[in-house]
Amino acid sequence: MSSRALFVVVCGAPLASRLSDGVRVVREWGWTPYVIPTDAAMPWLVEQDLGDVPVIVGNRKPHEPRRTPAADAVVVVPATFHTLNAWATGNAYSYPLTTLCAALGAGTPTVAVPYVSRELTGHPAWASSLAVLGRAGVRVLDPGSGSVASVEPLQPGTGSHVVVGFRWEWVLKQLELRE
């Protein structure tokens, strides 16, 4: 059980502040976490104690060995507007995006938790990106309710409430349902 590798991609939005809770829960559920942050996520990571969890930053150099085993599953928490749209269009210009695009191509079980304001989700790219990812098998989970039936935009003034109420167990449960 404990050898199951879970890649935890983290983007630059306030829900990234719950990452330390996430790696604890991930381990409790029998996964081995590998954290893969975007550059924009880094300010949220420096404030947290992740213990001995590997944090994989940027691309490895051509002659360096691989830094992780193959992923048994991938989660992206939070998924920003930027990363979710880039992922859906096959944009792989950063290590986190390459990781996400490869997971989609390989059919690796993947859960995405968008954390995006109402203004941004009104952009026409948003709905089509969600549709692309959903058709490809990604489970897209609402950060406020844990539902995978529909993802609601963050309402103004509710962000801190959503961050506190978010439960990493919702994400892990979706992975168990996939197995």
Ligand X SMILES: Cc1cc2nc3c(=O)[nH]c(=O)nc-3n(C[C@H](O)[C@H](O)[C@H](O)COP(=O)(O)O)c2cc1C
**Chain residues in the site for ligand X (CB under 6 A):** 11-14, 38, 40-41, 80-83, 115-117, 120
CB of 151 to ligand X, least distance (A): 13
Nearer to ligand X, 12 or 22 (CB): 12
Q: Which residue is at the shortest CB distance from ligand X?
A: 12
Nearer to ligand X, 32 or 34 (CB): 34
CB of 3 to ligand X, least distance (A): 29
CB of 80 to ligand X, least distance (A): 3
Containing 45, the helix (H) or strand (E) segment is helix 42-45
Cβ-based burial of 10 (10 A; exposed 0-12, middle 13-18, buried ≥19): buried
Residue pair 78/15 in contact (Cβ under 8 Å)? The answer is: yes
Nearer to ligand X, 80 or 108 (CB): 80
Read off the DSSP letter of residue 18.
G
DSSP helix/strand/coil, 50: coil
CA distances for 6 relative to 3, 63, 116, 137, 165, angstroms: 9, 24, 23, 17, 23
Beta strands in 45-130 (DSSP E): 73-79, 110-114
Nearer to ligand X, 4 or 91 (CB): 91
CB of 22 to ligand X, least distance (A): 16
